[in-house]
Amino acid sequence: MQSQASTMHLENQHRAPAWGAVFALSFGAFALVASEFLPVSLLTPIARDLHITEGQAGQGISVAGAFALVTSLFITAIAGRIDRKTILLTFTGIMIASGTLVALSPNYTTFMVARALVGIAIGGFWSMSAATAMRLVPLANVPQALAIVNGGNALATVIAAPLGSFLGSIIGWRGAFFFIVPVAALVFVWQAISLPPLKAVQRDEPGKVLTLLTRPVVALGMAAVSLFFMGQFSLFTYLRPFLETITRVDASSLSLILLLIGLAGFLGTTLIGKLIKKSVYKALVVSPFIMAAIALLLVSFGGGKATATVLLGFWGLIGTSAPVAWWTWLSRTLPNDVEGGGGLMVAVVQLAVTSGAITGGLLYDHVGYQATFGASAVMLVASCVLAVLTSRASSRE
């Protein structure tokens, strides 16, 4: 049987880079991430309209994450030999259905079912994004393609929350969710036109993806990426209360700082593709180390508005672009099983983000922000150390 890597090599050898398709994937990533995090700025009106608590409304994010995790582990086995273009279009269709169902939800149960649907789309899309990008461009352009796809993610983090709040105030929370539907429909048309046929090149059995962890380089790498996202989100999740109570910024300054973080992250994703072409492991080691230093500097100097703003700008620049390096690492470490590895990566990241947010919150509530930021630094340094060990394991293999 022809390997996935050799099949992709043969595909790319006779095809010019399909940048239109890459940007279609990026636009799809934007729509998905925007859909995932829209509830953040709309919890109050959702709760009021559906007669539930804000905590229950917030579970709309949790259920999406849970279904994304499960989907990411089993999607390659479920998809079987189906053309990957068809699968990606199906996920976009599910996103359209989710947005429509949320907008028309008569009750909490329907709302949660709709949010579960978008979780399925998220888990499936991100599991296949790296493998798809590899098949659309020559090998030398893979880091740039992955950066473009992740750029859609970065752009969504910049505007999703403020856009949801703005639209919610004008057309209501249901209208804000339905706003994603025509965007997703445009994504569907763009992908249908630009994506070439992408025949499945392998079939995995359910649960086979976990056997990838028997390779030391994969086990160490996944541990490193897990600690990276845990460290990142144990701090990032609680930036707002930190800025409001410690830095003492007002509402307008808070919005500007959050916007700066997002814009810096978007800039980072446009630059990192070129930087990791030759040395992906250097990026994997240096990124968490710098972020750990920023976390500690925020503890000492975060009370100053200008200092905190500069530090968080660098946090956004590095933190948002670092996942591009990890996806590039995945494409180089598992060239024969990028889909399975992508599913495993998505599951690890989803688990890490949730664990990091829970850990950071417990420390913030019961000890203080210093403990939260300190724990973030420890996890990021541990990720740095594991990235070094991953590099050595890769050299031995």
Give mean pLDDT, residues 162-184: 87
Q: What share of the chain is helix, strand, coil (3-state, %, to 5)?
A: 85, 0, 15
The CA distance from 73 to 207, in Å, is 7
* Mean pLDDT, the chain, whole residue set: 85
Q: What is the C-alpha to C-alpha distance for residues 75 and 131, in angstroms, rounded to an integer?
A: 13
Q: Are 56 and 47 in contact (CB under 8 A)?
A: yes
Kindly state the DSSP code that residue 213 receives in the 8-state scheme. Answer: G
Give mean pLDDT, residues 56-71.
Answer: 80
Q: What one-character DSSP code corresponds to residue 39?
A: G
How many other CB atoms sit within 10 Å of the CB of residue 259?
14
Residue 324: CB atoms within 10 A of its CB come to 30
Quickly count: other Cβ atoms within 10 Å of residue 48's Cβ. 12
Angstrom distance (rounded) from CA 397 to CA 390:
11
The more confidently predicted of residues 162 and 256 is: 256
SS3 state at 1: coil
Mean pLDDT of 106-115: 93
Lowest mean pLDDT across 94-98, 363-367, 385-389, 390-394: 363-367
CA dist 227 to 84, 231, 374, 385, Å?
A: 31, 6, 14, 10
pLDDT in tens, 213-251: 889 999 999 999 999 999 998 888 788 788 888 999 887
Of the two residues 395 and 11, the one the predictor is more confident about is 395
pLDDT at res. 102 = 93
Tokens of 269: 């994703």
d(CA 345, CA 226): 9
Q: pLDDT band at 392, cuts 50/70/90?
A: very high
Above pLDDT 70, what percent of the chain? 92
- Arithmetic mean of pLDDT, 120-125: 90
What is the three-class DSSP state of 395? helix
All residues at 6 or more sequence positions from 29 whose CB lies less than 8 Å from its CB, including other chains: 125, 126, 129, 149, 150, 152, 153, 156
pLDDT score of 197 = 87
CA 384 to chain centroid, in Å, comes to 20
Question: Rounded to whole angstroms, how far apart are CA atoms 185 and 170?
Answer: 22
pLDDT band at 5 (very low <50, low <70, confident <90, very high): very low
Backbone angles phi, psi at 203, to 5 degrees: -135, 125
Tokens of 382: 């541990």
Compute and round to an integer the Cα radius of gyration of the chain. Answer: 20
Length of the chain: 397
DSSP at 195: P
Q: At what angle do helices 108-136 and 19-37 cross, to 10 degrees?
A: 160
Which of the listed ranges 6-10, 62-66, 80-84, 189-193 does the model predict with the highest average pLDDT? 189-193
User: Quick check: 86 pLDDT over 70?
Assistant: yes
Helix axis angle, 338-366 relative to 108-136, nearest 10°?
A: 130
- Helix and strand numbers (H, E) in the chain are 15, 0
pLDDT bucket at 253, cuts 50 / 70 / 90: confident
Tell me if residue 199 falls in helix, strand or coil.
coil
What token pair was written down for 189? 């048309």
Confidence band (pLDDT; 50, 70, 90) for 341?
A: confident
**φ, ψ dihedrals at 195, nearest 5°:** -75, 130
More confident: 41 or 369: 369
Residue, of 338 and 21, whose pLDDT is higher: 21
34 confidence band (pLDDT: 50, 70, 90): confident
AA letter at 379: M
- Given a cut of 50, is residue 2 above it in pLDDT? no
The pLDDT-based confidence of 193 (bands split at 50, 70, 90) is very high
Tokens (6 digits) for 288: 């968490």
**CB 323, CB 383: distance < 8 Å:** no
pLDDT at 307 over 90: yes
Residue 206 has pLDDT above 80, yes or no: no
> Is the Cβ–Cβ distance between 387 and 224 less than 8 Å?
yes
- pLDDT-derived band at 204, boundaries 50, 70, 90: low
Mean pLDDT calculated for residue range 18-34? 91
- Whether the predicted pLDDT of 205 surpasses 60: no
Confidence of residue 36 (pLDDT cuts 50, 70, 90): confident
pLDDT digits (tens, 9 = 90+) for 259-295: 788 888 888 888 887 778 778 899 999 999 999 999 9
